[in-house]
Amino acid sequence: MVKVSERLEKIPPYLFAEIDRKIAEAKAKGVDIISLGIGDPDTPTLQPVVDEMHKAIDNPKNHDYPPYNGTEKFRNAAAKWMKKRFGVDMDADSEILANIGSKEAIAHIFFAFVDEGDYTLVPDPGYPVYKNATIFAGGTPYSMPLLEENGFLPDFDKIPEDVAKKSKLMFLNYPNNPTGAIANLDFFKKAVDFCKKYDILLCHDMAYCEMTFDGYKAPSVFEVEGAKDIAIEFYSHSKSYNMTGWRVGFVCGNAKAVKALGTIKNNIDSGTFKAIQDAASVAFDIDQSTIDKLNKMYQERRDAAENGLKELGWNIKPSKATFYLWLPVTKGMTSEEFVTAMLEKAGVVVPPGNGYGKYGEGYFRIALTKNVDTIKECINRMKKAGIRYN
């Protein structure tokens, strides 16, 4: 019998693959399913991107292998956007690397820096790739608890010094998935200082930086003086421009770290189709009013969900970013019990908080990837099923 590697046996089933499986099972039983599970935008890719792709795909110059670090056009556009958006300078040749979306780059950075016996500092709850990629690389993930009483920010003072000394990477993610929490520059200053003290590469996942509400603008870690000495940031076109299926993004920052990641990628992948990079370059120049309109749509969905959940007993502070709501489960239930009840009694799919880590137990996540009427239908189903917080 074929035997898989020990590292593969250490990896739990991927959360969203499990969600897809449960949806299929429920549909096979005839359940009318509404899924608020996966963070996949339900509206089309922004039109200027699609228009550019139509032209770029017909250009024969785009049909060969792309440069390993990304096309010059895309890297220059990314550097220009970083300057416009955050006021920070990035060298397009040495400090920016094109990626096949953020997920692959996040996974590969661990192979560039983590050896057997090394630790990584990962948020819990957090995007499952941070922990799983550590295990793939032979390292040991150390969970930084994201607790509600701390605004879902890690407390660096609680990290044992012996762990910090053995740690190679720290991952942060603000605006945060799954909690929707935000962080300010004072927090990033603490993170930069901590990582400099222990010679840790600070990796900041910025997948949701443009998905913000009520006038809030997410900062970059590079707005902290000296951050480039120790940090890199991962950007994705997936959520900002409705481009999840296109698989394109970039990483920027510390030149040594960018080069190391590029070396891993050179040996594993051949980059993103040049036509996609052309189209993605156009996305950087899309008028802010278009992004604002998209965020207004999510804000209306947020308001519909939060108002409905308040009627069911949840005490909610309006979220400032991401299209996620992170909520405690009904009292007396585990995360798994709650999401099972949601599926079986209301036909609504939501992921359990413990799927994002130990400290996610007792919570569930809602993705605002359905229109207002559908969200209101979910609330009505919960009412009819008697699903309440108190």
Domain segments of the chain: what residues? 6-44+288-385, 47-283
DSSP-derived secondary structure letter, 226: T
**pLDDT band at residue 9 using 50, 70 and 90 as cut-offs:** confident
CA-atom Rg of the chain in angstroms: 21
What is the chain's length? 390
Identify the CA nearest to 279 among candidates 83, 57, 110.
57
Interatomic CA distance for residues 299 and 355, integer angstroms:
26
Euclidean distance between CA atoms 283 and 272, whole angstroms: 16
Q: Are 364 and 352 in contact (CB under 8 A)?
A: yes
Assess if CATH 3.40.640.10 describes domain 47-283: yes
Alpha-carbon distance of 82 to 250, in angstroms, equals 11
**pLDDT at res. 245:** 95
Whether residue 119 has pLDDT greater than 90: yes
Instruction: Give the homologous superfamily in CATH for domain 6-44+288-385.
Output: Aspartate Aminotransferase, domain 1 (3.90.1150.10)
pLDDT, tens digit (0-9, with 9 covering 90-100), for 193-250: 999 999 999 999 999 999 999 999 999 999 999 999 999 999 999 999 999 999 999 9
Return the C-alpha torsion angle 364, 369, 370, 372, nearest 10.
80
Concatenated DSSP letters of 70-136: --HHHHHHHHHHHHHHH-----TTTSEEEESHHHHHHHHHHHHH--TT-EEEEEES--HHHHHHHHH
pLDDT above 70 covers a percentage of the chain that reads 99
